[in-house]
Amino acid sequence: MVLAAATVCEDKKGEDTKILELDPMDSGFTDFFLITSGINEKQTQAIAEGIELELKRKFATYPNSVEGRKLGEWILMDYVDFVVQIFLKDRREYYDIERLRKSARHLDVAELKAALTERTLAVRKKAPVKAAAVKKKSARGAVAKDTAVKKAVKSAARKTPKKAAAPGKK
């Protein structure tokens, strides 16, 4: 979701987009800060709206809270696992959030994409082995089940006695 939000920032021409991976010991309330800047209030509002729509569409999720959208000077969107902060340039310089989070690891969008790609490839390398084993087992099980059903039907047909004629009729 962080990557999708960062992509929207780039698409909407957000400037100096940064992702801070927060230290769990330092900050227990969220994992990432996504920080970007806009030239004017209309742009910051458009970035916020774009992020909200994209995450709603892709992940069916909404922010827990949104602050500052009406003014557009500093918009904060809380998605629990990450927080988006969209500033006007001068407000961002004044508050300097990056400086306040010294223990955070600074990532840019390219680094985050590379890390996610690496994790995805690692998971995919492990997954086919498991999936192939499951397919083999299920195929064997299906054949065994099919054979067992056929045998049961045949033996039931052999064991079923023929109907005896009703008494008094021959």
Instruction: Provide the residue range defining the domain that includes 46.
Output: 2-107
- Please, what is the average pLDDT of the chain? 77
Q: Indicate the pLDDT class of residue 110, thresholds 50, 70 and 90.
A: confident
For the chain, the three-class secondary structure string (H helix, E strand, C coil) is CHHHHHHHHHHCCCEEEEEEECCCCCCCCCCEEEEEEECCHHHHHHHHHHHHHHHHHHHCCCCCEEECCCCCCEEEEECCCEEEEEEEHHHHHHHCHHHHCCCCEEECHHHHHHHHHHHHHHHHHHHHHHHHHHHHHHHHHHHHHHHHHHHHHHHHHHHCCCCCCCCCCC
- Two structure tokens written together for 12: 């909407």
Q: Do both 35 and 99 map to the same domain?
A: yes
Asked if residue 168 belongs to a domain, the reply is: no
Q: How far apart are the first and last CA of the chain?
A: 81
Stretch 61-80: mean pLDDT: 91
Domain count, the chain: 2
Q: Do both 58 and 121 map to the same domain?
A: no
So what's the pLDDT on residue 48? 93
Report pLDDT digits (tens) over 42-55.
999 999 999 999 99
CATH of the domain at 26: 3.30.460.10
**Of 72-81, 124-133, 148-157, 158-167, which has the strongest mean pLDDT?**
72-81
Q: Do both 26 and 7 map to the same domain?
A: yes
Q: Do both 29 and 97 map to the same domain?
A: yes
Instruction: Tell me how far CA of residue 11 lies from CA of 66, 100, 102, 113, 161, in angstroms.
Output: 21, 27, 28, 16, 78
pTM: 0.64
Asked if residue 164 belongs to a domain, the reply is: no
